[in-house]
């Protein structure tokens, strides 16, 4: 009888363990964040990035011991491989801005820690070459934003060497190699975030006079339209999405932000639905072992969001995390 009891007990424990493992596997399958292939370059934050033909280019950034970079890497999403390309020709820097139009990439602005830059460069992926273009006409700055609406690039906001914040915006024309000032954003801000959905840009976050900004705007290339603020109260809960330096990407008709900083390092992930002007919280960035971070690169491809690098305190990262939104688990 004793032997039979032991056998039954062991069988029961095996069934419990199997059920637990099955539940763990089910939970893993349900997780929105999973780790990808590490970045081949040195760990960094504040890098600039742009996308050409589904290839993701990452350049510049800030590492350890005040090290700044000018190396350039391209990521092939299909093969999850990195390739070293021609180095950015300007002075090494962090918190520059970048955009891509007509098969070319553009990188400029930023800081080396003591100096602010207003130079800009064009990258040709076919030739793997960089060419200087007309400098940015506004005040030299870092922590600016850039986006493209109807194939027109916009660059604006940011902070200068005296810690003054800006709200001016300029467009760039490759055909004439010239910049044109356009309507300024309603509020000054630095270290903000932006994304574009259906040729409408959205601008939010950042700080103005060292205070976190809650205003959030849509921009159609002509007009700035106020949307629901990034902090407040709904029927369900109190929310606060104000932050500097989040990673940003767009999947389908939704914008996503994750991480950043607001007095402390953040790891929350939020989805913006422009059709209802509403934010929905998703799984925390750290759910599968990632570290909270700010100043990471964000991009998307094939319905998956990616976060590369970033920083927590003095520690820069070189890991990649992939995000697949679960709209069933996180409905509107």
Question: Could you count the other beta carbons within 10 Å of the beta carbon of residue 104?
Answer: 17
Question: Could you count the other beta carbons within 10 Å of the beta carbon of residue 217?
Answer: 17
Q: Can you tell me the mean pLDDT for 70-80?
A: 97
Compute the distance between CA of residue 169 and CA of residue 182 in angstroms, rounded to an integer. 6
Enumerate residues 6+ apart whose C-beta is below 8 A from 274.
197, 198, 200, 202, 218, 253, 255
For residue 75, give Cα distances in angstroms to 24, 85, 88, 280, 303. 32, 10, 16, 30, 16
Q: Can you tell me the mean pLDDT for 187-213?
A: 98
Q: Can you tell me the mean pLDDT for 91-109?
A: 98
Max Cα distance, the chain (Å):
92
Residue of 15 and 189 predicted with greater confidence: 189
* pLDDT recorded at residue 93: 98
CA 146 to centroid of chain Cα atoms: 12
Domain definitions of the chain by residue range: 35-323
pLDDT by residue (tens digit) across 4-61?
A: 333 333 333 333 344 444 433 334 457 899 999 999 999 999 999 999 999 999 999 9
Q: Can you tell me the mean pLDDT for 226-245?
A: 87
Which fold, 35-323? Neuraminidase (2.120.10)
Q: With H, G, I as helix, E, B as strand and everything else as coil, classify residue 134.
A: coil
In a 13 Å sphere around the CA of 67, the CA atoms on its Cβ side amount to 11
**Whole-structure pTM value:** 0.90
Q: How many residues does the chain have?
A: 332
Compute the distance between CA of residue 32 and CA of residue 143 in angstroms, rounded to an integer. 29
Question: Could you count the other beta carbons within 10 Å of the beta carbon of residue 3?
Answer: 7
| Chain position carrying tokens 């999405």 | 241
* pLDDT recorded at residue 1: 34
């Amino acid at each position: 009888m004793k032997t039979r009891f032991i056998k039954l007990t062991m069988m029961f424990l095996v069934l419990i363990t199997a059920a637990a493992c099955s539940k763990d596997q089910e939970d893993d399958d349900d997780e929105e964040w999973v780790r990808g292939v590490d970045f081949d370059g040195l760990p960094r934050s504040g890098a600039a990035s742009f996308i050409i033909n589904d290839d993701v280019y990452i350049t510049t950034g800030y590492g350890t011991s005040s090290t700044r970079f000018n190396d350039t890497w391209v990521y092939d999403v299909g093969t999850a491989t990195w390739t070293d390309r021609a180095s950015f020709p300007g002075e090494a820097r962090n918190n520059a801005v970048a955009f891509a139009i007509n098969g070319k990439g553009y990188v400029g602005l930023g800081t080396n820690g003591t100096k602010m830059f207003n130079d800009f460069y064009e990258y040709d992926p076919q030739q793997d070459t960089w060419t200087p273009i007309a400098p940015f006409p506004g005040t030299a700055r870092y922590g600016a934003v850039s986006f493209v609406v109807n194939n027109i690039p916009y660059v604006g906001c940011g902070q200068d060497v005296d810690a003054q914040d800006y709200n001016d915006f300029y467009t760039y024309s490759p055909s004439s190699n010239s910049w044109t000032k356009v309507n300024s954003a309603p509020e000054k801000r630095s270290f903000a975030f932006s994304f574009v959905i259906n040729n409408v840009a959205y601008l939010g976050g950042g700080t103005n006079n060292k205070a976190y900004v809650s205003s959030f705007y849509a921009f159609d290339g002509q007009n700035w339209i106020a949307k629901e603020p990034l902090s407040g109260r709904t029927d369900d809960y109190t929310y606060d999405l104000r932050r500097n330096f989040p990673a940003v990407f767009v999947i389908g008709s939704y914008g996503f932000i994750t991480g950043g900083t607001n007095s402390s390092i953040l790891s929350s992930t939020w989805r913006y639905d422009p059709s209802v002007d509403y934010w929905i919280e998703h799984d925390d960035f750290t759910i599968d072992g990632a570290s909270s971070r700010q100043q990471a690169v964000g991009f998307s491809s094939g319905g998956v969001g990616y976060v590369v690098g970033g920083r927590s305190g003095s520690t820069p990262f070189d890991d990649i995390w992939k995000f697949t939104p679960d709209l069933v688990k996180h409905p509107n």
